[in-house]
Chains A and B, each alone.
Chain A
Amino acid sequence: MQEIEPVIGIYAGEGASHSWTWFISFLEARGSRGYRFLEGSDLREDRLEGLRAVLIGGGDVEAIARELGEKGARALEGFVGSGGLYFGSCAGAYLVMEGVDLPPYTPFRLIEAGIANYSPAPPPPLNLPHKYKVAYGRGFVFHPAYGPVWVEMQEGSFLGELGTVAAALYGGPVIVPGKGCERLAVYRGPHAGCLPMVEERLLLRLLQNTCAAACGTYGRGRVYICGPHFECPYYPEGGRVLERILQEENIFSARERKQAARLREGRARRDREMRSTAPAAEPKAAGLLEEVRRELSNLRIAARWMESFQVRWKLGAKVWEPEKIIYYADFLWDRADALKECAAAEGAAEDLEELTEKAAGARLALRELRSRLERGEEGLSEAEDLFRRLRILTMRLLECLRDRGSWRSGLVSSGQR
């Protein structure tokens, strides 16, 4: 088994939406498991040693700010100031902008930038009212469009060679770069499939030639902020942008680039080879492995039925739908087979036992939520409990793959290259 040194910290704590898993898909597609997960306490207690990059993706930015608090903000400052890389997309971008400075965001000031998508009284939404705006100060941060947008890389910047790409915009900022903040990419209007939230004139004013990505220097480190989710696997072209940033900052090594090339050689053939060469697990671990797979399969089957409920839950400032339960369940199941390779490793039995227990817990929480919905209740606290369980289960499964498998285990095709 090859030791992996986690150099990338991915925030998956309170306030993070399911989109933190997109960073995993992004890294897996490039043959990397060099990550570890960060929760609020890791930042508050400054447990960032050994990391070279911290990534914060989408979610409820207010909940993230409250979870990290002043101590978390100081830890981030210390980390970047001493040479670390901060990459924030969507909520992760809002979080560290100087222009977003009302409590609880006040202590987070890593980059001189503000936002253009703020108004004391935004116009009524054309679509998705529940995703349209979030209160901020005496007005609202509002979202001019929801879905894929075109993003053009700034000519002359190191990203310029990538041209124009499609990327997912799910509530991310329209950036107003300040002094010492370099504009890296601009919005170029909505892509097919993008839902307009405001009338066309305003939409184009906000998403045509305005700043989509920017970077700055903080101490000895670098800070990147992006409105769109370049890490989102649904728009694989965007992944090249994040890849290029991580290369520019020397986070991606030559080894990962080689592995990415190897992955392109043919996943099916590789999977067969993996299966045939995987060492046999001890009977106890083999039994536990079957238990984990059983629970994960039951979970994803039960999750499918949630689609039949017309319901959504507002947890903090973020709206969660049943589709996100299915997303988590499928994400887990897609990696269940890769656990086979881990089962023979020392210490795997304890991990598998924990995974079984957590997967069963998530399945029961899902059943409880369903029965609440069938009784006509909203199931808000049950949904909150379920999403927390799914997030933790997913983190533990990925940690097991990272710690007990070889570098290849669990690399799942996300379509992103």
Chain B
Amino acid sequence: MMEFLFNGTMLVVDLEGRRCEELALPEGLLSGCLGGARANLALLEEYPEADMVLGAGPFTGLPVPGACLSVATWKEGERISHTPLHLFAGMELKLSGFDFVIIKGGSADPLYLWLHDGIADLEEAEALPRDGWEAVDALRRELGEDLVQVLIAGEGPCLGLGYWSSADRVGLGKAWRERGLRAVCARGLGILDAAEPDAFAETCARLLGEVRGSLAPIGHGLEGIIERLGGKEFDYPLPLLHRRRSCFSCPYDCNDFLKTEEDPARMDADGEDEPGLLLTDARSLAILEEKGADLREGVRLLRRAARLGAFPAGAAAAGTGADDRELLEAGPCSWEVPQGPFSPWAAPRPLFEGGDWKERQALAYTLGICPQLMLLTPVLSGETLCELLLRGMGLEVEPQDMLRICLEAAV
């Protein structure tokens, strides 16, 4: 019963021994921990020699609003951090056939992990270019598909989600590189089953409409979030805006694609090879606004940061005159958020009345929903999420019990 919404399979990757072992999920893992960040912690306890787990939530990759998320949980000494893997990477990771990827050890030679159709390959990465974008291109060329999602450790501290900056604010990129893991690539063509497929799909469709309705006052894009946070109009025109893009299954289009190298109105793909940047981070745009930076130069700076693997907000704070070394050394410069393991990537407080930041993040990181969306809408309530768990996983759980389990990920 408990394999609904999951593949039922996890992977233990031994970088030192260059081995991948495919295992069934431990008995009781999903009923006790639901998935995502909470299950990642349980697996770190079960595999003390491992220090990192990439894990999906029950809703990851399904038509639940905002269900794009997998989570990278990293145990660095006594410190635990959860990094959201959004855009399409989290979904592809799960649909590649593995619910959880437990990583241990380190390799003297650089490797990359290729996950596809329930098959895991550890491959040599010696020949991969140092440049993050060139490395992504090389991997996609090698694997034959441009839709392969690549989590890439570039030259800097911040893990890349393909070409774009991830929500990593703890230096996962640097940690991966130092242990010989250059990239995790995933392509997900798998299929997940729901306990009650029709009822689950109907609930998702209803929720999508309700969430969309609740987001109407916020507007669009990263600027909508910044405006809501500041309580005032976003006074930083974006003439370079080409389009906005949602992550997988999300009704809010919070990623802004800005074109610096060609006319933003141009819609065909025959122009510049690298026409601009998909901006995935509200904080860095807010800093550019605060500093009154020239938008084109600011976006070029953030593009350089994404390519290097520098923290985007740190780069924005360093200023458009910063050289590559300064970008690589810049800190995360994140929003100030409550202490804990959750990434300060999403907004620092809920953007609706009555929400609790930590609770919303705990739910998001455990269930596989975007932590940003969870702060934008109250519609994804405890009752609603329990209904989805019942229809999807066949798991009957009360809202307070679900929240208790999720909050255990915050310890």
State which residues 284-317 of A face B: CB under 8 Å: 290, 293-294, 297-298, 300-305, 308
| Residue B143 CB within 8 A of the other chain | yes
Question: What's the least CB distance linking A181 to chain B, in Å?
Answer: 46
B388 at the A/B interface (Cβ < 8 Å)? Answer: no
Is the pair A304, B145 in contact by a Cβ cutoff of 8 Å? yes
Assign chain B's interface to a size class. Answer: 10 to 19
User: Is B205 an interface residue, CB under 8 A from the partner?
Assistant: no
Asked if B144 and A301 sit within 8 Å, CB to CB, the answer is yes
A293 near B189 with CB under 8 A, answer: no
16 contacts between A and B (CB under 8 A): A290-B119, A293-B117, A293-B119, A297-B117, A298-B116, A300-B117, A301-B117, A301-B148, A302-B144, A302-B145, A304-B147, A305-B144, A305-B145, A305-B146, A308-B146, A367-B144
Q: How far is the CA of A303 from the CA of B116 in the complex (A)?
A: 14
A297 to B147, CA, bound (A): 15
Is B144 a contact partner of A363 (Cβ separation < 8 A)? yes
A358 within 8 A of B: no
B148: chain A residues within 8 A (beta carbon) = 301
Other contacts beyond A298-B116, A308-B146: 12, CB < 8 A:
A290-B119, A294-B121, A297-B117, A297-B119, A298-B144, A300-B189, A301-B116, A301-B144, A302-B143, A302-B144, A305-B147, A367-B144
Q: Using C-beta atoms within 8 Å of the partner chain, give the interface range for chain A.
A: 10 to 19
A360 CB to nearest B CB, Å: 13
B169 at the interface (CB under 8 A from A): no
Contact A370 B121 (CB under 8 A): no
Q: Do A370 and B144 have beta carbons less than 8 Å apart?
A: yes
A252 contacts across to B, CB distance below 8 A: none
Q: Which of A362-388 contact B (CB under 8 A)?
A: 363, 366-367, 370
CA gap between A301 and B116 in the complex, in Å = 8
Q: Which of B96-147 contact A (CB under 8 A)?
A: 116-117, 119, 121, 143-147
A-B pair number, CB within 8 angstroms: 38
Main DSSP-derived SS at the A contact region: helix
CB distance from A226 to the nearest CB of B (A): 34
A333 at the interface (CB under 8 A from B): yes
Q: Judging by beta carbons under 8 Å apart, are A294 and B144 in contact? A: no
For A297, the chain B residues whose CB sits under 8 A away are: 116-117, 119
Q: How many Å lie between the Cα of A363 and that of B146 in the bound state?
A: 16
CB contact list, B144-162 vs A, under 8 A = 144-148
Shortest Cβ gap from A64 to chain B (Å): 32
Check: B187 CB closer than 8 A to any chain A CB.
Answer: yes
How far is B121's CA from A367's CA once the two chains are assembled, in angstroms?
Answer: 19
A294 with B119, Cβ < 8 A, contacts A304-B145, A305-B147 known: yes
Residue of A nearest to B144 (CB): A302
A370 to B189, CA, bound (A): 21
The CA-CA distance from A212 to B270 in the complex, in Å, is 47
User: Which are the 10 A-B pairs with shortest beta-carbon distances?
Assistant: A302-B144, A297-B117, A305-B145, A301-B187, A301-B145, A297-B116, A294-B119, A297-B119, A301-B116, A304-B145
The A-contacting residues of B in range 187-204, CB under 8 angstroms, are 187, 189
- Per-position binary interface string of chain A over residues 345-367, scored 1 when its CB falls under 8 Å from any chain B CB and 0 otherwise: 00000000000000000010011
Which residue in A290, A301, A333 is a CB contact (below 8 Å) of B143?
A301
Taken together as a complex, chains A and B put the C-alpha atoms of A367 and B140 apart, in Å, by 12
Cα separation A300 to B116 with both chains bound (whole Å): 10
B145 / chain A contacts, CB cutoff of 8 Å: 301-302, 304-305
> Which of chain B's residues has its CB closest to A302's CB?
B144
CB contact list, B345-364 vs A, under 8 A: none
B264-278: contact bitstring with A at CB < 8 Å (1 yes, 0 no)?
000000000000000
Q: In the complex the two chains form, what is the Cα distance from A367 to B143 in whole Å?
A: 9
Chain B residues with Cβ below 8 Å from A298 are 116, 143-144
